Structure 1
Amino acid sequence: MSTYNTANRPDFVRQQYAFAAHIRDPERNPCPDGIEDRRMKIYRELFYNNVEDFIANTFPVLRQIMPDARWHTMIRDYFAHHLSHTPLFPEMPREFLKYLEHERKPQPDDPPFLLELAHYEWVELALSLLDEKIDATKMDVDGDLLEGVPVISPLAWPLSYRFPVHRIGPAFQPKEADDKPTHLIVYRDTGFDVRFIEINPVTARLLQLLSGDDPVPGRMALQQIAAELNHPQPDAVIQGGIEILQNLRKCHVILGKR
Protein backbone atom coordinates (compact mmCIF):
# COMPACT_ATOMS: atom_id res chain seq x y z
CA MET A 1 0.00 0.00 0.00
CA SER A 2 1.21 3.51 -0.75
CA THR A 3 2.52 5.47 2.21
CA TYR A 4 1.32 8.93 3.05
CA ASN A 5 3.42 11.73 4.52
CA THR A 6 1.32 12.96 7.40
CA ALA A 7 4.08 14.66 9.40
CA ASN A 8 2.74 18.14 8.71
CA ARG A 9 -0.93 17.20 9.04
CA PRO A 10 -3.11 17.96 12.08
CA ASP A 11 -3.26 15.29 14.80
CA PHE A 12 -6.75 14.13 13.85
CA VAL A 13 -5.67 13.58 10.22
CA ARG A 14 -2.67 11.53 11.32
CA GLN A 15 -4.99 9.54 13.57
CA GLN A 16 -7.37 8.87 10.67
CA TYR A 17 -4.55 7.62 8.45
CA ALA A 18 -3.21 5.42 11.22
CA PHE A 19 -6.70 4.09 11.85
CA ALA A 20 -7.25 3.27 8.15
CA ALA A 21 -3.79 1.79 7.69
CA HIS A 22 -4.27 -0.54 10.64
CA ILE A 23 -7.67 -1.71 9.41
CA ARG A 24 -6.34 -2.44 5.93
CA ASP A 25 -3.12 -4.14 6.99
CA PRO A 26 -2.97 -4.80 10.74
CA GLU A 27 0.11 -7.04 10.46
CA ARG A 28 2.24 -4.15 9.17
CA ASN A 29 0.56 -1.19 10.84
CA PRO A 30 0.16 -1.12 14.64
CA CYS A 31 -3.03 -0.23 16.41
CA PRO A 32 -3.33 3.57 16.77
CA ASP A 33 -2.30 4.98 20.13
CA GLY A 34 -5.05 5.43 22.64
CA ILE A 35 -7.48 2.92 21.14
CA GLU A 36 -8.14 -0.44 22.76
CA ASP A 37 -7.34 -3.40 20.53
CA ARG A 38 -10.66 -5.06 21.34
CA ARG A 39 -12.41 -2.00 19.91
CA MET A 40 -10.21 -1.97 16.81
CA LYS A 41 -10.92 -5.68 16.36
CA ILE A 42 -14.56 -4.82 15.70
CA TYR A 43 -13.59 -2.41 12.92
CA ARG A 44 -10.98 -4.79 11.47
CA GLU A 45 -13.50 -7.58 11.18
CA LEU A 46 -16.38 -5.40 10.04
CA PHE A 47 -14.49 -3.75 7.16
CA TYR A 48 -12.74 -6.88 5.96
CA ASN A 49 -15.82 -9.10 6.21
CA ASN A 50 -17.91 -6.62 4.22
CA VAL A 51 -15.35 -6.47 1.43
CA GLU A 52 -14.71 -10.22 1.41
CA ASP A 53 -18.42 -11.06 1.40
CA PHE A 54 -19.18 -8.67 -1.46
CA ILE A 55 -16.36 -10.04 -3.62
CA ALA A 56 -17.26 -13.64 -2.81
CA ASN A 57 -20.86 -13.02 -3.89
CA THR A 58 -19.72 -11.39 -7.14
CA PHE A 59 -17.24 -14.14 -7.98
CA PRO A 60 -19.04 -17.22 -6.61
CA VAL A 61 -17.35 -19.82 -8.81
CA LEU A 62 -13.89 -18.42 -8.14
CA ARG A 63 -14.64 -18.46 -4.41
CA GLN A 64 -15.98 -22.00 -4.61
CA ILE A 65 -12.92 -23.49 -6.28
CA MET A 66 -10.30 -21.72 -4.15
CA PRO A 67 -9.37 -23.20 -0.74
CA ASP A 68 -10.18 -20.92 2.18
CA ALA A 69 -6.57 -20.08 3.05
CA ARG A 70 -5.66 -19.12 -0.53
CA TRP A 71 -8.85 -17.13 -0.97
CA HIS A 72 -8.41 -15.07 2.20
CA THR A 73 -4.72 -14.49 1.47
CA MET A 74 -5.70 -13.04 -1.90
CA ILE A 75 -8.53 -10.89 -0.54
CA ARG A 76 -6.39 -9.58 2.31
CA ASP A 77 -3.66 -8.63 -0.14
CA TYR A 78 -6.22 -6.79 -2.27
CA PHE A 79 -7.71 -5.11 0.80
CA ALA A 80 -4.29 -4.00 2.04
CA HIS A 81 -2.66 -2.81 -1.17
CA HIS A 82 -5.17 -1.84 -3.86
CA LEU A 83 -6.04 1.85 -4.03
CA SER A 84 -9.51 2.19 -5.49
CA HIS A 85 -10.35 5.18 -7.65
CA THR A 86 -14.08 5.22 -6.98
CA PRO A 87 -16.19 5.52 -3.83
CA LEU A 88 -19.00 3.48 -5.37
CA PHE A 89 -19.49 0.10 -3.70
CA PRO A 90 -20.86 -1.64 -6.85
CA GLU A 91 -17.58 -0.71 -8.59
CA MET A 92 -15.57 -2.78 -6.13
CA PRO A 93 -15.65 -5.96 -8.29
CA ARG A 94 -14.17 -3.98 -11.19
CA GLU A 95 -11.45 -2.71 -8.85
CA PHE A 96 -10.78 -6.30 -7.78
CA LEU A 97 -10.51 -7.31 -11.43
CA LYS A 98 -7.99 -4.50 -11.99
CA TYR A 99 -6.02 -5.79 -9.02
CA LEU A 100 -5.94 -9.32 -10.48
CA GLU A 101 -4.94 -8.06 -13.92
CA HIS A 102 -2.30 -5.47 -13.02
CA GLU A 103 -1.16 -5.73 -9.41
CA ARG A 104 -1.34 -9.19 -7.95
CA LYS A 105 1.69 -11.41 -8.45
CA PRO A 106 0.62 -14.76 -9.92
CA GLN A 107 1.10 -17.65 -7.51
CA PRO A 108 2.31 -21.15 -8.43
CA ASP A 109 -0.97 -22.72 -7.29
CA ASP A 110 -3.20 -20.28 -9.18
CA PRO A 111 -5.58 -21.94 -11.62
CA PRO A 112 -4.50 -21.03 -15.17
CA PHE A 113 -7.97 -19.69 -15.94
CA LEU A 114 -8.16 -17.38 -12.91
CA LEU A 115 -8.19 -14.08 -14.82
CA GLU A 116 -10.61 -15.25 -17.50
CA LEU A 117 -13.03 -16.75 -14.97
CA ALA A 118 -12.94 -13.57 -12.88
CA HIS A 119 -13.64 -11.46 -15.97
CA TYR A 120 -16.55 -13.68 -17.00
CA GLU A 121 -18.10 -13.48 -13.52
CA TRP A 122 -17.61 -9.71 -13.41
CA VAL A 123 -19.42 -9.32 -16.75
CA GLU A 124 -22.61 -10.68 -15.19
CA LEU A 125 -22.62 -7.93 -12.56
CA ALA A 126 -21.59 -5.25 -15.06
CA LEU A 127 -24.46 -6.10 -17.41
CA SER A 128 -26.99 -6.34 -14.59
CA LEU A 129 -26.10 -2.78 -13.50
CA LEU A 130 -25.56 -1.26 -16.94
CA ASP A 131 -27.75 1.82 -17.39
CA GLU A 132 -28.14 1.87 -21.15
CA LYS A 133 -31.05 3.57 -22.88
CA ILE A 134 -32.27 1.94 -26.10
CA ASP A 135 -33.99 4.27 -28.56
CA ALA A 136 -36.48 2.06 -30.41
CA THR A 137 -37.38 4.93 -32.75
CA LYS A 138 -34.02 4.57 -34.51
CA MET A 139 -34.63 1.01 -35.67
CA ASP A 140 -37.16 -1.26 -37.34
CA VAL A 141 -37.60 -4.21 -34.98
CA ASP A 142 -39.17 -6.33 -37.73
CA GLY A 143 -36.90 -5.15 -40.53
CA ASP A 144 -34.98 -7.31 -42.98
CA LEU A 145 -31.69 -8.20 -41.28
CA LEU A 146 -30.18 -9.47 -44.51
CA GLU A 147 -30.62 -6.35 -46.60
CA GLY A 148 -30.54 -3.87 -43.74
CA VAL A 149 -27.87 -3.14 -41.13
CA PRO A 150 -28.68 -5.13 -37.96
CA VAL A 151 -28.56 -3.29 -34.63
CA ILE A 152 -26.66 -5.14 -31.90
CA SER A 153 -28.03 -4.54 -28.41
CA PRO A 154 -25.68 -2.59 -26.12
CA LEU A 155 -26.75 -5.11 -23.48
CA ALA A 156 -25.18 -7.98 -25.45
CA TRP A 157 -21.43 -8.45 -25.18
CA PRO A 158 -19.61 -10.88 -27.51
CA LEU A 159 -16.66 -12.36 -25.62
CA SER A 160 -13.86 -14.81 -26.42
CA TYR A 161 -11.81 -16.78 -23.91
CA ARG A 162 -8.98 -19.30 -24.04
CA PHE A 163 -10.81 -21.43 -21.46
CA PRO A 164 -14.48 -22.57 -21.43
CA VAL A 165 -15.22 -20.27 -18.49
CA HIS A 166 -18.97 -20.92 -18.54
CA ARG A 167 -18.37 -24.58 -17.65
CA ILE A 168 -15.76 -24.15 -14.92
CA GLY A 169 -16.70 -25.27 -11.43
CA PRO A 170 -15.58 -27.62 -8.65
CA ALA A 171 -16.00 -30.65 -10.94
CA PHE A 172 -14.35 -29.13 -14.01
CA GLN A 173 -11.10 -27.19 -13.73
CA PRO A 174 -9.03 -27.48 -16.92
CA LYS A 175 -5.26 -27.35 -16.60
CA GLU A 176 -4.62 -26.08 -20.11
CA ALA A 177 -6.41 -23.79 -22.55
CA ASP A 178 -8.37 -25.32 -25.40
CA ASP A 179 -6.86 -25.41 -28.87
CA LYS A 180 -9.69 -23.17 -30.06
CA PRO A 181 -11.16 -20.18 -28.22
CA THR A 182 -14.54 -20.28 -26.53
CA HIS A 183 -16.93 -17.68 -28.00
CA LEU A 184 -19.84 -16.45 -25.91
CA ILE A 185 -22.53 -13.81 -26.00
CA VAL A 186 -23.43 -12.60 -22.52
CA TYR A 187 -26.58 -10.50 -22.60
CA ARG A 188 -29.36 -9.05 -20.46
CA ASP A 189 -32.82 -10.08 -21.53
CA THR A 190 -36.06 -8.12 -21.31
CA GLY A 191 -36.67 -9.54 -17.82
CA PHE A 192 -33.35 -8.08 -16.64
CA ASP A 193 -31.83 -11.55 -16.28
CA VAL A 194 -28.25 -12.00 -17.51
CA ARG A 195 -27.86 -15.01 -19.78
CA PHE A 196 -25.22 -16.44 -22.09
CA ILE A 197 -25.10 -18.24 -25.43
CA GLU A 198 -22.13 -20.25 -26.63
CA ILE A 199 -21.56 -19.45 -30.30
CA ASN A 200 -19.37 -20.80 -33.07
CA PRO A 201 -16.56 -18.86 -34.80
CA VAL A 202 -18.80 -17.91 -37.73
CA THR A 203 -21.35 -16.26 -35.44
CA ALA A 204 -18.55 -14.55 -33.51
CA ARG A 205 -17.13 -13.16 -36.76
CA LEU A 206 -20.59 -12.09 -37.90
CA LEU A 207 -21.15 -10.11 -34.71
CA GLN A 208 -17.73 -8.52 -35.13
CA LEU A 209 -18.61 -7.32 -38.61
CA LEU A 210 -22.01 -6.05 -37.51
CA SER A 211 -20.78 -4.14 -34.47
CA GLY A 212 -17.63 -2.47 -35.78
CA ASP A 213 -17.11 1.21 -36.46
CA ASP A 214 -18.55 0.79 -39.95
CA PRO A 215 -21.24 -1.92 -39.67
CA VAL A 216 -22.56 -3.45 -42.87
CA PRO A 217 -25.83 -5.11 -43.93
CA GLY A 218 -26.29 -8.72 -42.95
CA ARG A 219 -25.88 -10.05 -46.49
CA MET A 220 -22.61 -8.17 -47.03
CA ALA A 221 -21.22 -9.47 -43.73
CA LEU A 222 -22.12 -13.05 -44.63
CA GLN A 223 -20.63 -12.70 -48.09
CA GLN A 224 -17.39 -11.50 -46.51
CA ILE A 225 -17.38 -14.47 -44.14
CA ALA A 226 -17.94 -16.87 -47.05
CA ALA A 227 -14.99 -15.30 -48.85
CA GLU A 228 -12.79 -15.51 -45.75
CA LEU A 229 -13.68 -19.20 -45.39
CA ASN A 230 -13.15 -19.76 -49.08
CA HIS A 231 -16.44 -21.63 -48.92
CA PRO A 232 -17.36 -23.52 -52.12
CA GLN A 233 -21.05 -22.62 -51.65
CA PRO A 234 -21.39 -19.00 -50.52
CA ASP A 235 -25.18 -19.20 -50.72
CA ALA A 236 -25.13 -21.92 -48.06
CA VAL A 237 -23.30 -19.54 -45.72
CA ILE A 238 -25.90 -16.87 -46.37
CA GLN A 239 -28.79 -19.27 -45.77
CA GLY A 240 -27.23 -20.42 -42.50
CA GLY A 241 -26.59 -16.80 -41.59
CA ILE A 242 -30.26 -15.92 -41.98
CA GLU A 243 -31.13 -18.44 -39.29
CA ILE A 244 -28.39 -17.11 -37.03
CA LEU A 245 -29.66 -13.54 -37.42
CA GLN A 246 -33.24 -14.54 -36.68
CA ASN A 247 -32.24 -16.52 -33.58
CA LEU A 248 -30.22 -13.59 -32.29
CA ARG A 249 -33.22 -11.32 -32.80
CA LYS A 250 -35.42 -13.71 -30.80
CA CYS A 251 -32.94 -13.42 -27.92
CA HIS A 252 -32.86 -9.60 -28.27
CA VAL A 253 -29.15 -9.72 -29.00
CA ILE A 254 -30.12 -8.13 -32.30
CA LEU A 255 -32.82 -5.49 -31.80
CA GLY A 256 -33.80 -4.93 -35.45
CA LYS A 257 -32.35 -3.10 -38.43
CA ARG A 258 -31.31 0.51 -38.76
Structure 2
Amino acid sequence: MTTYNTADHSDFVRQLYAFAAHIRDPKKNPCPEALEERRMKIYRELFYNNVESFISSSFPVLRQIMMHERWHGMIRDYFANHLSHTPLFPEIPREFLKYLDHERIAQPDDPPFILELAHYEWVELALSISDEKVEIATINPKGDLLDGIPVISPFAWSLSYRFPVHKISPDFQPRAPEATQTNLIVYRDADFAVHFIEINAVTARLLQLISSNDHKSARTLLQQISVELNHVQADVVVRGGMEILSDLRKRQVILGVRV
Protein backbone atom coordinates (compact mmCIF):
# COMPACT_ATOMS: atom_id res chain seq x y z
CA MET A 1 0.00 0.00 0.00
CA THR A 2 1.34 3.45 -0.95
CA THR A 3 1.90 5.77 1.99
CA TYR A 4 3.55 8.72 0.24
CA ASN A 5 6.01 8.74 3.11
CA THR A 6 8.85 10.06 0.98
CA ALA A 7 11.98 12.01 1.82
CA ASP A 8 10.68 15.25 0.29
CA HIS A 9 8.15 15.56 3.12
CA SER A 10 8.97 17.20 6.44
CA ASP A 11 9.82 15.05 9.45
CA PHE A 12 6.43 15.86 10.97
CA VAL A 13 4.50 14.75 7.87
CA ARG A 14 6.55 11.57 7.58
CA GLN A 15 5.88 10.89 11.24
CA LEU A 16 2.14 11.24 10.61
CA TYR A 17 2.29 8.79 7.72
CA ALA A 18 4.25 6.33 9.84
CA PHE A 19 1.71 6.73 12.64
CA ALA A 20 -1.22 6.11 10.28
CA ALA A 21 0.47 3.17 8.56
CA HIS A 22 1.10 1.48 11.92
CA ILE A 23 -2.48 2.09 13.05
CA ARG A 24 -3.86 0.51 9.87
CA ASP A 25 -1.51 -2.46 9.63
CA PRO A 26 0.80 -2.93 12.65
CA LYS A 27 2.03 -6.29 11.37
CA LYS A 28 3.64 -4.70 8.31
CA ASN A 29 4.46 -1.25 9.69
CA PRO A 30 6.48 -0.99 12.95
CA CYS A 31 5.61 1.42 15.70
CA PRO A 32 7.31 4.79 15.09
CA GLU A 33 10.44 4.99 17.21
CA ALA A 34 9.48 8.25 18.88
CA LEU A 35 6.21 6.83 20.21
CA GLU A 36 5.66 4.58 23.18
CA GLU A 37 4.25 1.13 22.31
CA ARG A 38 1.81 1.26 25.24
CA ARG A 39 0.27 4.47 23.92
CA MET A 40 0.17 3.19 20.35
CA LYS A 41 -1.71 0.09 21.48
CA ILE A 42 -4.48 2.36 22.78
CA TYR A 43 -4.70 4.17 19.44
CA ARG A 44 -4.63 0.91 17.45
CA GLU A 45 -7.53 -0.53 19.42
CA LEU A 46 -9.50 2.70 19.41
CA PHE A 47 -9.35 3.21 15.65
CA TYR A 48 -9.97 -0.42 14.74
CA ASN A 49 -12.78 -0.93 17.24
CA ASN A 50 -14.62 2.18 16.02
CA VAL A 51 -14.52 1.03 12.40
CA GLU A 52 -15.33 -2.59 13.21
CA SER A 53 -18.24 -1.62 15.44
CA PHE A 54 -19.76 0.64 12.79
CA ILE A 55 -19.46 -1.98 10.04
CA SER A 56 -20.84 -4.66 12.34
CA SER A 57 -23.92 -2.56 13.13
CA SER A 58 -24.37 -1.70 9.45
CA PHE A 59 -24.24 -5.35 8.31
CA PRO A 60 -25.79 -7.23 11.25
CA VAL A 61 -26.81 -10.39 9.39
CA LEU A 62 -23.46 -10.70 7.65
CA ARG A 63 -21.79 -10.32 11.04
CA GLN A 64 -24.00 -13.01 12.59
CA ILE A 65 -23.29 -15.64 9.97
CA MET A 66 -19.51 -15.23 9.98
CA MET A 67 -17.29 -16.84 12.58
CA HIS A 68 -15.49 -14.45 14.91
CA GLU A 69 -11.99 -14.97 13.49
CA ARG A 70 -13.13 -14.82 9.87
CA TRP A 71 -15.07 -11.62 10.48
CA HIS A 72 -12.21 -9.81 12.18
CA GLY A 73 -9.74 -11.07 9.59
CA MET A 74 -11.91 -9.53 6.87
CA ILE A 75 -12.37 -6.24 8.71
CA ARG A 76 -8.66 -5.97 9.45
CA ASP A 77 -7.89 -6.56 5.76
CA TYR A 78 -10.37 -3.81 4.84
CA PHE A 79 -8.96 -1.49 7.50
CA ALA A 80 -5.38 -2.06 6.37
CA ASN A 81 -5.77 -2.03 2.60
CA HIS A 82 -8.86 -0.16 1.45
CA LEU A 83 -8.22 3.42 0.39
CA SER A 84 -11.37 5.36 1.25
CA HIS A 85 -12.24 8.38 -0.87
CA THR A 86 -14.50 10.09 1.63
CA PRO A 87 -13.94 11.39 5.18
CA LEU A 88 -17.63 10.95 6.06
CA PHE A 89 -18.30 8.31 8.71
CA PRO A 90 -21.76 7.34 7.32
CA GLU A 91 -20.05 6.45 4.05
CA ILE A 92 -18.01 3.65 5.65
CA PRO A 93 -20.62 0.98 4.74
CA ARG A 94 -20.51 2.04 1.08
CA GLU A 95 -16.71 1.88 1.17
CA PHE A 96 -16.88 -1.57 2.73
CA LEU A 97 -19.23 -2.69 -0.02
CA LYS A 98 -16.74 -1.43 -2.62
CA TYR A 99 -14.03 -3.40 -0.86
CA LEU A 100 -16.08 -6.60 -0.97
CA ASP A 101 -16.96 -6.09 -4.62
CA HIS A 102 -13.60 -5.03 -6.05
CA GLU A 103 -10.74 -5.71 -3.65
CA ARG A 104 -11.26 -8.58 -1.27
CA ILE A 105 -9.85 -11.92 -2.33
CA ALA A 106 -12.65 -14.45 -2.02
CA GLN A 107 -12.01 -17.29 0.42
CA PRO A 108 -12.95 -20.94 -0.27
CA ASP A 109 -15.36 -21.03 2.68
CA ASP A 110 -17.05 -17.71 1.89
CA PRO A 111 -20.84 -17.88 1.71
CA PRO A 112 -21.74 -17.62 -2.01
CA PHE A 113 -24.22 -14.86 -1.23
CA ILE A 114 -21.84 -12.63 0.73
CA LEU A 115 -21.82 -9.72 -1.74
CA GLU A 116 -25.56 -9.77 -2.40
CA LEU A 117 -26.37 -9.91 1.32
CA ALA A 118 -24.00 -7.02 2.01
CA HIS A 119 -25.59 -4.98 -0.77
CA TYR A 120 -29.08 -5.64 0.59
CA GLU A 121 -28.05 -4.58 4.08
CA TRP A 122 -26.31 -1.49 2.72
CA VAL A 123 -29.47 -0.48 0.82
CA GLU A 124 -31.44 -0.37 4.06
CA LEU A 125 -28.88 1.96 5.60
CA ALA A 126 -28.54 4.08 2.45
CA LEU A 127 -32.29 4.67 2.29
CA SER A 128 -32.51 5.48 5.99
CA ILE A 129 -30.07 8.39 5.61
CA SER A 130 -30.87 9.45 2.03
CA ASP A 131 -31.51 13.18 1.58
CA GLU A 132 -33.13 12.94 -1.85
CA LYS A 133 -35.79 15.56 -2.53
CA VAL A 134 -39.34 14.95 -3.74
CA GLU A 135 -40.64 17.56 -6.20
CA ILE A 136 -44.11 17.70 -4.70
CA ALA A 137 -45.32 20.42 -7.07
CA THR A 138 -44.86 18.11 -10.07
CA ILE A 139 -46.90 15.22 -8.59
CA ASN A 140 -50.63 14.67 -8.19
CA PRO A 141 -50.86 12.12 -5.36
CA LYS A 142 -54.51 11.32 -6.15
CA GLY A 143 -54.20 11.24 -9.93
CA ASP A 144 -55.38 8.44 -12.23
CA LEU A 145 -52.68 5.79 -11.91
CA LEU A 146 -53.74 3.89 -15.00
CA ASP A 147 -53.98 6.70 -17.53
CA GLY A 148 -51.48 9.00 -15.88
CA ILE A 149 -47.69 8.75 -15.74
CA PRO A 150 -46.78 7.13 -12.40
CA VAL A 151 -43.98 8.55 -10.27
CA ILE A 152 -41.80 6.27 -8.15
CA SER A 153 -40.53 7.60 -4.84
CA PRO A 154 -36.80 8.31 -4.79
CA PHE A 155 -36.85 6.40 -1.50
CA ALA A 156 -38.03 3.19 -3.20
CA TRP A 157 -35.50 0.91 -4.88
CA SER A 158 -36.41 -2.10 -6.99
CA LEU A 159 -33.72 -4.77 -6.62
CA SER A 160 -33.04 -8.24 -8.01
CA TYR A 161 -30.79 -10.87 -6.45
CA ARG A 162 -29.78 -14.45 -7.22
CA PHE A 163 -30.26 -15.35 -3.57
CA PRO A 164 -33.24 -14.68 -1.25
CA VAL A 165 -31.19 -12.16 0.75
CA HIS A 166 -34.13 -11.01 2.87
CA LYS A 167 -34.45 -14.51 4.35
CA ILE A 168 -30.78 -15.23 5.09
CA SER A 169 -29.98 -15.79 8.76
CA PRO A 170 -27.75 -17.99 10.91
CA ASP A 171 -30.37 -20.72 10.39
CA PHE A 172 -30.86 -20.24 6.63
CA GLN A 173 -27.80 -20.00 4.41
CA PRO A 174 -28.42 -21.27 0.87
CA ARG A 175 -25.42 -22.77 -0.89
CA ALA A 176 -26.60 -22.09 -4.44
CA PRO A 177 -28.79 -19.50 -6.20
CA GLU A 178 -32.48 -20.24 -6.57
CA ALA A 179 -33.96 -21.15 -9.93
CA THR A 180 -35.63 -17.74 -10.22
CA GLN A 181 -34.42 -14.32 -9.18
CA THR A 182 -35.53 -12.76 -5.93
CA ASN A 183 -37.16 -9.40 -6.69
CA LEU A 184 -37.61 -6.89 -3.89
CA ILE A 185 -38.72 -3.34 -3.29
CA VAL A 186 -36.92 -1.69 -0.40
CA TYR A 187 -38.50 1.65 0.50
CA ARG A 188 -38.67 4.34 3.15
CA ASP A 189 -42.02 5.72 4.26
CA ALA A 190 -42.95 9.19 5.51
CA ASP A 191 -42.05 8.18 9.07
CA PHE A 192 -38.50 7.28 7.94
CA ALA A 193 -39.11 3.56 8.53
CA VAL A 194 -37.53 1.25 5.95
CA HIS A 195 -39.56 -1.72 4.66
CA PHE A 196 -39.23 -4.37 2.00
CA ILE A 197 -41.71 -6.18 -0.23
CA GLU A 198 -41.01 -9.32 -2.22
CA ILE A 199 -42.48 -8.89 -5.69
CA ASN A 200 -42.94 -11.06 -8.76
CA ALA A 201 -41.18 -10.63 -12.09
CA VAL A 202 -44.12 -8.76 -13.66
CA THR A 203 -44.13 -6.11 -10.91
CA ALA A 204 -40.36 -5.79 -11.18
CA ARG A 205 -40.68 -5.26 -14.93
CA LEU A 206 -43.43 -2.67 -14.44
CA LEU A 207 -41.28 -0.69 -12.02
CA GLN A 208 -38.36 -0.92 -14.41
CA LEU A 209 -40.47 0.55 -17.21
CA ILE A 210 -41.90 3.29 -14.98
CA SER A 211 -38.46 4.34 -13.76
CA SER A 212 -37.25 4.96 -17.32
CA ASN A 213 -40.50 6.45 -18.58
CA ASP A 214 -41.45 10.12 -18.92
CA HIS A 215 -44.37 10.14 -21.34
CA LYS A 216 -46.24 6.79 -21.45
CA SER A 217 -49.24 6.03 -19.24
CA ALA A 218 -49.25 3.00 -16.97
CA ARG A 219 -51.94 1.50 -19.21
CA THR A 220 -49.56 1.67 -22.16
CA LEU A 221 -46.73 0.15 -20.13
CA LEU A 222 -48.95 -2.69 -18.94
CA GLN A 223 -50.07 -3.37 -22.49
CA GLN A 224 -46.41 -3.57 -23.45
CA ILE A 225 -45.85 -6.11 -20.67
CA SER A 226 -48.79 -8.19 -21.91
CA VAL A 227 -47.13 -8.34 -25.34
CA GLU A 228 -43.82 -9.35 -23.76
CA LEU A 229 -45.64 -12.13 -21.89
CA ASN A 230 -47.57 -13.20 -24.98
CA HIS A 231 -50.66 -12.91 -22.84
CA VAL A 232 -53.84 -13.40 -24.88
CA GLN A 233 -55.90 -11.11 -22.64
CA ALA A 234 -54.19 -7.75 -22.26
CA ASP A 235 -57.07 -6.44 -20.13
CA VAL A 236 -56.26 -9.07 -17.47
CA VAL A 237 -52.68 -7.79 -17.25
CA VAL A 238 -53.93 -4.19 -17.11
CA ARG A 239 -56.38 -4.93 -14.29
CA GLY A 240 -53.75 -6.81 -12.33
CA GLY A 241 -51.29 -3.97 -12.88
CA MET A 242 -53.79 -1.45 -11.60
CA GLU A 243 -54.16 -3.40 -8.37
CA ILE A 244 -50.39 -3.48 -8.00
CA LEU A 245 -50.08 0.27 -8.57
CA SER A 246 -52.85 1.03 -6.07
CA ASP A 247 -51.14 -1.08 -3.42
CA LEU A 248 -47.77 0.55 -4.12
CA ARG A 249 -49.32 4.00 -3.79
CA LYS A 250 -50.70 3.07 -0.38
CA ARG A 251 -47.23 1.97 0.65
CA GLN A 252 -45.69 5.27 -0.67
CA VAL A 253 -43.63 3.45 -3.29
CA ILE A 254 -45.67 5.19 -6.00
CA LEU A 255 -46.21 8.84 -5.06
CA GLY A 256 -48.89 9.60 -7.63
CA VAL A 257 -48.80 10.76 -11.26
CA ARG A 258 -47.04 13.54 -13.04
CA VAL A 259 -48.86 16.84 -13.24
Q: Normalised by the size of structure 1, how large is the TM-score?
A: 0.98
Instruction: Kindly provide the CA deviation profile for residues 103-151 of structure 1, in whole angstroms up to 9, marking residues without a partner as x.
Output: 1111101100000000000001100111011122111111101100001
Q: Is the 8 A contact 1:139 1:151 kept in 2?
A: yes
Q: Is the 8 A contact 1:186 1:197 kept in 2?
A: yes
Tell me if 1:151 matches 2:142.
no
Q: What are the equivalent positions in structure 2 for 1:96-245 lying under 5 Å apart? A: 96-214=96-214, 216-245=216-245
Q: CA deviation at 1:235?
A: 0.9
Q: Tell me, what secondary structure is at the counterpart of 1:137?
A: helix
Amino acid at match of 1:41: K
Amino acid at match of 1:109: D
Q: Is the 8 A contact 1:145 1:257 kept in 2?
A: yes
Amino acid at match of 2:151: V
Which residue of structure 2 lines up, in the alignment, with residue 71 of structure 1? 71
Unmatched tracts of structure 1, length 5 or more: none
Q: CA deviation at 1:214?
A: 4.1
CA 1:213–1:32: 2 relative to 1, 3 Å? farther
Q: Tell me, what secondary structure is at the counterpart of 1:101?
A: helix
Amino acid at match of 2:124: E
Unmatched tracts of structure 2, length 5 or more: none
Amino acid at match of 2:9: R
Q: CA deviation at 1:9?
A: 1.1
Aligned counterparts of 2:246 and 2:213: Cα–Cα separation in 1 = 23
Q: Tell me, what secondary structure is at the counterpart of 1:176?
A: coil
Q: Is the 8 A contact 2:149 2:214 kept in 1?
A: no
Amino acid at match of 1:107: Q
Which residue of structure 2 lines up, in the alignment, with residue 91 of structure 1? 91
Q: Is the 8 A contact 1:160 1:184 kept in 2?
A: yes
Aligned counterparts of 1:89 and 1:113: Cα–Cα separation in 2 = 26
Q: Tell me, what secondary structure is at the counterpart of 1:160?
A: strand
Q: Tell me, what secondary structure is at the counterpart of 2:98?
A: helix
Once superposed, what is the RMSD of the aligned Cα atoms? Answer: 0.9
Instruction: Kindly provide the CA deviation profile for residues 209-232 of structure 1, in whole angstroms up to 9, marking residues without a partner as x.
Output: 111154521100110111100012
Aligned counterparts of 1:220 and 1:34: Cα–Cα separation in 2 = 72
Amino acid at match of 1:62: L
Q: CA deviation at 1:8?
A: 1.6
Amino acid at match of 1:178: E
Which residue of structure 2 lines up, in the alignment, with residue 30 of structure 1? 30
Amino acid at match of 1:68: H
Aligned counterparts of 2:225 and 2:10: Cα–Cα separation in 1 = 66
Q: How many residues align?
A: 258
Q: Tell me, what secondary structure is at the counterpart of 2:202?
A: helix
Runs of 4+ aligned structure 1 residues displaced above 6 Å come to none
Tell me if 1:18 matches 2:18.
yes
Q: Percent identity?
A: 70
Q: CA deviation at 1:3?
A: 3.4
Aligned counterparts of 2:40 and 2:106: Cα–Cα separation in 1 = 32
Q: Tell me, what secondary structure is at the counterpart of 1:29?
A: coil
Aligned counterparts of 2:49 and 2:126: Cα–Cα separation in 1 = 22
Aligned counterparts of 1:78 and 1:242: Cα–Cα separation in 2 = 46
Amino acid at match of 2:242: I
Q: Is the 8 A contact 1:31 1:37 kept in 2?
A: yes
Aligned counterparts of 1:226 and 1:116: Cα–Cα separation in 2 = 30
Instruction: Kindly provide the CA deviation profile for residues 8-33 of structure 1, in whole angstroms up to 9, marking residues without a partner as x.
Output: 21111111010000000000000001
Amino acid at match of 1:183: N
Q: Is the 8 A contact 1:6 1:13 kept in 2?
A: no
Q: Tell me, what secondary structure is at the counterpart of 1:159?
A: strand
Amino acid at match of 2:150: P
